[in-house]
Structure formats: structure tokens, C-alpha cells
Chains A and B, each alone.
Chain A
């Protein structure tokens, strides 16, 4: 702010010649970006080119360069006609749509609750946030035990409140995916609430005061002020949530290894299996390009939609 004002001060403009003509070529900026740029080129750009090249090959990596067979577009054709892959994509869709929207909505409600002057707010915030900072292995080890059909505390509680035959959770192909969705929501709500809370604290107080004078109720204010003003944050959390949960497979590997059967084999886990369990690196690379393209198109559609629906303050 201050900077901009001084820059355009008329005296300053008159006294100094335009900035551009003073500039001479200098290596300094390039030296500044060099370490980061070289590392970026080596560990991100180069691998990306690799990923493209490998997707046109049949290669198990272990047998070295001799083991490469170029197959053209075959990996992509196989991918598009592989029913297991498309089933995995369907499971991904259920997993993502089952967990993310609910996580965002609950996160918003929680943030509104935490925004009030309730005692112990700091402790509450801390509690909701713990799942975010705990590693996936510790979380999965705990939930595997919690979900234990015979002896786990969840079913013990369910039986105690009168559910005769509680679900078998991870051991059942019908309940394994819902079990993972419940965990994902539990793990994500706190983070969403924290982000919403920060956004809530930037909202203009006077809008609420004005609607107080109109006699608007709590729900009315939430619906007509809070929700529209927070829509950029909601959109951000939805997009990053969709992308993040469609990519992650670590939890699946720890909890169910894609099973029972293939009932929890999401697409990203299927890709992982192809690469690192079946050593079909070319096929895995091709599948991840297909999946990337699909996710990208969906996110672009969502972005076009949000330009009409999201309220940006300016």
C-alpha cells in the first residue's frame, strides 16, 4: 500500500528516468532461482517427461533398459477398456463424494459453533485438529482395532444400544467403503473448521449488526450472510478436498489393501498396485494420465460453475 503510493508520487516520477531504461542485464536473479529451479527440473519436470514416455512402453523397470518394449497407445487403449479400472473409478467417485462434501459442511457448522464466545474454545479447536497432525499409520492401526467386528469398541457400543447384528465393517464388502468414509470425515473436519474459522473472523461485523436490526434469526443470518460470504473458502476446500482424496491411497493400503475383493480398490490404489505390485509401470503411468485428465476436466467444470455461484468481494 505505502509502497504503491510512493512509487506513483508525481515528484518521484519527474525526478527519476523510467525504471526500465536503467535496467541492465544481470545474472543475479538467475543465480537466486538456480538452486530451486535445478532441483525442480531434476525431481519434478524430468520425472513428468519420464511419466509420459513410460506410458508408451511395456516395462517392469527391474530388467533394465533392455526390458523396454514400445507399445504405442496400447496402454491407453487397455486402460479405457479395463473394467477393473472403471470399477475403481466408480469406487473413487463414491469415496470422494461420500466424504468431502459432508466434511466441508460439518467443518463449516463446527467453525460457526467455535466462533462464538464459548469457554474452552482453545481446547475444542485443539481436539478437532488432532487427526490432521497424526500420521496415517497410527490412525489406521487404531481404527482397525476400533472396527474389529467381534471385540472392537464400536460394535460393543452398537450392541449395547441395542443393534443386534452390527456391521462387520472392514471385513464386509458392503461396509468397508462406508467405514473408510467415516474415518475420512473424522480426519478432515477439524482442518476444514480451522480454515473456515479463519475466514469467519474476516467477515464484516456490520452486516450482522444490520441484519440484527432487521430482526433476522440465527439461521436466517447464517443462510443469507455467512454462507454466501464464505463461498470462496467453501469452494477452495471442496476443490482441494476432491483432488486430495481422489489421489490418496495410503490409508486404503493400510486398512483394507483394496478389499474385501475389490470393494475398496480406489483408482489411485489400483494404479499403485499395477506399478509396485505387478510391476506394470507403463500401464500404471498411462492410467495415472487418464485419471489426471478426468479429474482436471471435472475440476475445470466446477471452476466454471463457481464463477457464477461464488461470491467474491471486490
Chain B
């Protein structure tokens, strides 16, 4: 076997090259074909949002809206359930969560990664242990807790738990561990306090990791559907995903153009973030892979 393998038989360089070319072309075509399958639902969503309701389901499928109708978008943005309200709520929740999470997680991560204290390992193991507990198991008791302390059906029910996460602490701790101790030791000899070391040395160096955490926390918060479904009942406090369900008639009679206009509108902000920060986004995800 090894002998015939060493000489790639008597084929000329030309035919090897041609074979490579053909193989490359096949991979290329297959990839774009799959990509088409992935994009079609979104393309269909986009064109349907600009069609009249009666045209959405007209067969054979029209791949272009004709005539263009902005009815769906008008209803979504200026109708009885304006999406601006939901977006405001979502922004408020996501913004507060990101800010709080970065602050509390980075402080805790600094202590876990760069300070020695009694009970450090015990607490950290406790943190890690709760990471395997399904989020769903916390829904029932959190619901009860929020009823008891009176934050049920307020945005605090979404913000507060998101401000103190084990995931964020763990992610930042991993990164802080990689920053040489000598950097802060030298500053301490010059009289810097731990707080100064944290704020002026470690945090600036950890910008990539902080960016990762911010992006993931924002997108997860923006897209979270299950928590607000359980915790919110008043429409004026709805976040985007829950608000979107207002554009779909509960009775099953969906107005397709309205639903699709809502869907398109809800995607735009995350798409913008993703397009602007694509590299950081992907880095964030691969970094979060560390949690395994």
C-alpha cells in the first residue's frame, strides 16, 4: 500500500491540477447551494414583509413583492402595539445587564484570578457547579421569589439576575489568569492599590475579553424569549421577542405581512451589531467554548 502511495501513480502534474480544480469547484458549488437553503427563509421573510397579505401565499411563489406594500411596517412601527416601545424596553434591559454583568463579573474575576484568599477555591467550585444546572430549573423558584419581593412583572425581573452571572465571571477569570502577575506586582511596589491595578492595568489589557462578554450578553438578552414570557404580563413592559407575538394573532389567523415586518424589524439591530463586530463576535463565541 505504501509503495503505490509514495508515487501518486503515473499521472502528470496537469491532470492532478485539473482534478484539484474540479474538486474545488464541487466544494464551492455545494457550499453556495447550502448557503441558499439557509438564506431562503430570511429572504422569504423579507419579501413577505413588503407584500400585501393576499400576495404572501399566492402560488406560484412570487420572488419579488409586487406591488410593494408598507402596511406591515406601518402597523409595526406606528400601530396600536408600536415596536419602538418593545425596543426601548429591550435596550434598557440589555444595556443594564451588560453594564452590571461586566462590572460585577470583572471585579469577582480579578479576585479569583489574581488574589489569594481563604475560601477562594471552595467558592469558585460552587460557582462552577451551578453552571451545569439547567436554567429552566430556576424559572419556577425565581418566579416565586420575584412574587415575594415584588419585582414580578417589572423589567427588574429580567435585569437583576442577568447582572450577576457565573458565566461572565468564569470567562473573564480565564482571561485575567493569562495577564502576567509581574505587571501588577510592579505597580504594587510603586504603591498602587488592588483597585488601581484592577482598573488601570488589568481592565485595559482585558478589552478583547470584555468585548466578547458584552457582545454575547447583549445578544442573549435581546433574544431571550422564555424568561420574559414567564415573568412579564403587562404589555408596556414587553421586550422584543414577547412583543413580537402581538403581531401574530393568538387565534392562529396570522397576518403574514405584519408578522414578517415585525420579524424583520427585530432582527435589524442584532444584524447591525453582528456586521460591525463580526470578528469580535466570532472570537467571543469561540472563547465561550472554554466553558466546557
The chain A residues found within 8 Å of chain B, CB to CB, are 2-3, 6-7, 23, 25-26, 28-30, 32-33, 35-40, 42-51, 54, 61, 110, 113-114, 116, 118-120, 122, 124-131, 133-139, 141-146, 148, 150-153, 156, 160, 186, 190-191, 194-195, 198, 213-216, 218, 233, 236, 239-240, 243, 247-250, 253-254, 268, 271-272, 275-276, 281, 284-285, 288-289, 291-292, 295-296
Contacts and interface: CB of A to CB of B under 8 A. Distances in A.
Given A29-B120, A47-B142, A288-B134, A143 B61 contact: no
A119 B35 CA distance: 14
Given A113-B30, A138-B266, A3 B182 contact: yes
8 contacts: A35-B104, A43-B164, A47-B142, A142-B42, A145-B56, A243-B132, A254-B245, A281-B144
B136 A142 contact: no
Contact of B133 (A131, A250, A292): A292
B141 A48 contact: yes
Given A124-B31, A249-B226, 7 more contacts: A35-B107, A110-B31, A130-B39, A133-B223, A141-B247, A145-B48, A243-B132
A151 B166 CA distance: 46
A33 B115 CA distance: 11
Interface in B240-292: 240-242, 244-245, 247-248, 254, 256, 259-260, 262-264, 266-267, 270-271, 274-275, 278, 282, 285-286, 289, 292
B141 A285 contact: yes
Contacts of B125: none
A214 B5 contact: yes
B137 A51 contact: yes
Q: Which 3 A-B pairs have the closest CB atoms?
A: A39-B164, A151-B57, A50-B141
Contacts, number: 273
A39 B229 contact: no
Residue from the set A50, A218, A281 with the largest chain B CB neighbour count within 10 Å: A50
Contact of B38 (A61, A114, A131, A139): A131
A130 B241 contact: no
Residue from the set A134, A141, A271, A275 with the largest chain B CB neighbour count within 10 Å: A141
A249 B136 contact: yes
Given A40-B127, A45-B130, A51-B137, A33 B112 contact: yes
A127 B130 CA distance: 34
B130 A48 contact: yes
Interface of B: 2, 4-8, 23-24, 27-28, 30-32, 34-35, 37-39, 41-42, 44-45, 48, 56-57, 59-61, 103-105, 107-108, 110-112, 115-118, 120, 123, 127, 130, 132-145, 147, 160-161, 163-164, 166, 169, 180-182, 194, 198, 219, 222-223, 225-226, 229-230, 240-242, 244-245, 247-248, 254, 256, 259-260, 262-264, 266-267, 270-271, 274-275, 278, 282, 285-286, 289, 292
B145 A50 contact: yes
Chain A at the B interface: SS class: helix
B266 to A, nearest CB: 5
A135 B57 contact: no
A29 B286 contact: no
A141 B108 contact: no
Contacts of A148: 57
B115 A32 contact: yes
A32 B110 contact: yes
A141 B225 contact: no
B123 A35 contact: no
A271 B107 CA distance: 36
Nearest to A251: B225
Nearest to A214: B5
B121 to A, nearest CB: 13
B32 A141 contact: no
A39 B42 contact: no
A35 B103 contact: yes
A47 B138 contact: yes
A236 B292 CA distance: 6
B89 to A, nearest CB: 14
A288 B8 contact: no
Given A135-B223, A153-B44, A194-B285, A3 B180 contact: yes
Contacts of B254: 141, 144-145
Contact of B61 (A45, A49, A156): A156
A195 B45 contact: no
Contacts of B5: 214-216
